[in-house]
Structure 1
Amino acid sequence: MQLDQIPSIDDARGAVAAIAGFINQTPVHRWQGRMLAERLGPDTQVMLKLELFQRAGSFKARGALLGILALDDAERGRGVTAVSAGNHAIAVSYAAQALGVDAKVVMQSSANPARVAAARAYGAEVIIGGDGPACFALAESIVALEGRTFIHPFDGHNVTLGTATLGLEICEQAGPLDALIIPVGGGGLASGVALVAKQLMPDCKVYGVEPEGADSMSRSFAAGEPQRLDKVQTIADSLGPPMALPYSFGICRANIDHLLTVSDDAIRSAMRLLFDEMKLAVEPAAAAGTAALVGPLRDELAGKRIGIIVCGTNIDPKTHADLLREKDS
């Protein structure tokens, strides 16, 4: 990866201007409440970046928009394709509709029907393609046969540049932070947010959080190069890519201070805490940062000023209720 391929702060500010008409500047909210104070103590300050209020329901809209905006007229005319279990497909479908481009997205057979319906509601053609590897193979064939541009779900310059715009927002909105906690799947979110945070808040310690059953980035850090998982098993399917890839891995490795994992049970408990006290109905991926804070990072970050990225919430009421019911059983 060449240094000139890494987005600068000026690049991120330019990207903010490019997508400003198509996204929400999502709020940062200080979490104050009895339940949180009981777990962390009264002196710990927690700032939630509420990216679940983003258009299309997650941070993914930022990179999808930049990916399509980068196309020339001929490429736009041929359309785009994508692979996703949910959030990325919805984001690409939204971005394509907003920019007047045709989208054909491939979704895994395990995708929640509500997410499939959301992608179709934005006008995309949805193809159900089996498991992750089968979906990627199908998308490659669509690119070859139809000339569509593949919009990657978590790796590449436009993905990182998109999430860098989120990083700018939280740095400007939250004020100085001692720590920033970011959910990690393939590393697209963490790469851009951590890259900006380390430049604008160099004393802020950046933590990445993965599900125990989808720890490809942790294994990649340990090995010193991107790794692939034989199996992914987690309720946080938005954090479940089976591999890390060079671009996002390299930026994450350079800017994340510490990676840790949390269990599915811890994620369910964090979902319940966010629902009970903040009245936020989040998907499992969006609760990973909270799970880390009230769990393995509780003592280390006591009394600190902490930011957490609440990355999205494309979840239907029944699935949310079922996951909380499993936590209680």
Structure 2
Amino acid sequence: MTSLNELNAVRKAISPYLHRTPLWHSRYLSGLLGRETWIKAELFQRTGSYKPRGMLWAMMQLAPEARARGTITFSAGNAAQGLAYAGQMLDVSSTVVMSASANPTKVAATKGYGAKVIQHGTPQEAAQFCLDYAAREGLTYISSYDDDDLMSGHASLGQEIFEDLPDVADIVLGIGGGGMAGGIAKAAIATGHKARLWGVEPEGASAMTQSLEAGHAVRLPVVSTIADGLAAPSAGELCYALVKERFEGVAVVSDANIVEAMKILMSRLKIMPEPAACAGLAAVLNGHAGAANAGPLVLVVSGGNVDLGSLKSWL
């Protein structure tokens, strides 16, 4: 298991390229949920999501020859921007495979950070195409979630929460493949913090829930949700192990629940989160993810890369 000293070294290495995002107390959410509530505003991170934390460290760990070949990942969009940004900062070329239906805003932003973007098929088809393309072209594959170095970078998010709110009782966050969840679990284990960790998935992309039920990481035959940031085609094997070890549970919410949470965050907190970032609030509002517990609550608002055309149809 990664030690606290090792995680501190990771933070030191990646921090010059990142914002330390705010942890804001919300009087409105505290009243609504009946307990003191904070949001970790990771939508204000570089590229608009938490993803550069892990991608920077994963890229830094590559051998010189692996960097020279160039990097590639599969992503719905936020990890795509994270890889592209890391490559731009570290002078490493990057290629990203995204589904044909990927968020146009995320596609454009990824290109803006200098990556080559290939769109192909469904998320499942794009994920396999990415692996095949990497092998064919000799590119260095970095998983968008199931990578130990990547999760060590994401652990910095958890460390910031524990430092800014030492008495946090519950942390609730969305889970796609499980990279952020694994990172926060790493931080909790290394620091010895006793906060309860809760994951949340959309009904149409519940890979981690099904993995916990099956006793191993599973791949979904199809995913369908407005929360593209949580629409990974599978749960990561390394991610699954960390979630199983450290999380209290994983809740499942509907897209309608997510939209209602989005409306609250937009209208009352005056921020513009993407659907994936609203899953935590959606779960607590509907009585899940430790909703009945006492003590300070943190909701991780993980990203804000919203496609405005889609937003109009959701609201």
TM-score relative to the length of structure 2: 0.95
CA displacement at 1:57 relative to structure 2: 1.1
**What amino acid sits opposite 2:202 in the alignment?**
P
State the one-letter code of the partner of 1:225.
Answer: H
| CA–CA distance in structure 2, aligned partners of residues 320 and 198 of structure 1 | 37
How is 1:63-74 mapped onto 2 (pairs within 5 angstroms)? 63-74=54-65
Describe the shift of the 1:99–1:302 C-alpha distance in structure 2 as closer, same or farther (beyond 3 A). Answer: same
In structure 2, how many angstroms separate the alpha carbons of the residues matched to 1:298 and 1:236?
18
1:244 offset after TM fit, Å? 1.4
Instruction: Work out whether residues 249 and 289 of structure 2, in 8 Å CA contact, stay in contact via their aligned partners in 1.
Output: no
Distance, in Å, in 2 between the alignment partners of 1:300 and 1:137 is: 38
1:124 and 2:112 correspond = no
- How large is the RMSD of aligned CA atoms in angstroms? 1.6
Residue matched to 1:25? 20
Q: Which segments of 5 or more consecutive residues in structure 1 lack a partner in the other structure?
A: 1-5, 325-329
The one-letter amino acid paired with 1:19 is I
Tell me, in whole angstroms, the C-alpha distance in 1 between the residues paired with 2:270 and 2:166.
Answer: 24
Would you say how many aligned residue pairs link Structure 1 and Structure 2? 315
Deviations 1:6-48 (A, max 9, x none): 3222221111011011111111000112xx355323xx10111
SS of corresponding position for 2:73: strand
The answer to whether the 8 Å contact 2:124/2:222 transfers is: no
State how 1:126-205 maps to structure 2 within 5 Å. 126-200=117-191, 202-205=193-196
Runs of at least 5 residues in structure 2 that lack an aligned partner in the other structure: none
Cα distance in 1 for partners of 2:124, 2:294 equals 44
Instruction: Give the Å deviation of 1:182.
Output: 1.6
> Residues 119 and 322 from structure 1, CA distance in 2 versus in 1: closer, same or farther, beyond 3 angstroms?
same
Cα deviation 1:160-207 (Å, max 9, x = unaligned): 101111111111012211111121111111111123235536432111
Separation of aligned partners in 2, 1:219 and 1:299: 20
Change (3 A) 1:98 1:298: closer
The one-letter code sitting in structure 2 at the alignment partner of 1:70 is: Q
What is the distance in 1 between the residues matched to 2:31 and 2:193? 30
Q: Is the 8 A contact 2:221 2:233 kept in 1?
A: yes
Match for residue 87 of structure 2?
A: 96
User: Which consecutive aligned stretches of 4+ in structure 1 deviate over 6 angstroms post-superposition?
Assistant: none
Please report how far the alpha carbon of residue 123 of structure 1 lies from its aligned counterpart in structure 2 after TM superposition.
1.0
- The 2-side partners of 1:299 and 1:139 are apart by 37
Bigger mean CA offset, 284-293 vs 6-15: 6-15
Q: CA deviation at 1:145?
A: 2.6
Matches within 5 A, 1:279-318: 279-297=270-288, 300-301=291-292, 303-318=294-309
- Change beyond 3 A, Cα 1:68–1:56: same
Counterpart of 1:207 in structure 2 is 198
Report SS of the residue matched to 1:258: strand
Instruction: Give the deviation of 1:61 after TM superposition.
Output: 0.7
Deviations 1:100-154 (A, max 9, x none): 1111111110101111110110111111111123222322233223221111011
Aligned residues: percent identity?
Answer: 36
Superposed displacement of residue 319, structure 1: 2.2
User: Is the 2:18–2:53 Cα contact (8 Å) retained in structure 1?
Assistant: yes
Partner of 2:2: 7
Q: State the partner residue of 1:52.
A: 43
Greater displacement, 259-268 / 194-203? 194-203
Q: Tell me the amino acid that sits aligned with residue 27 of structure 1.
A: P
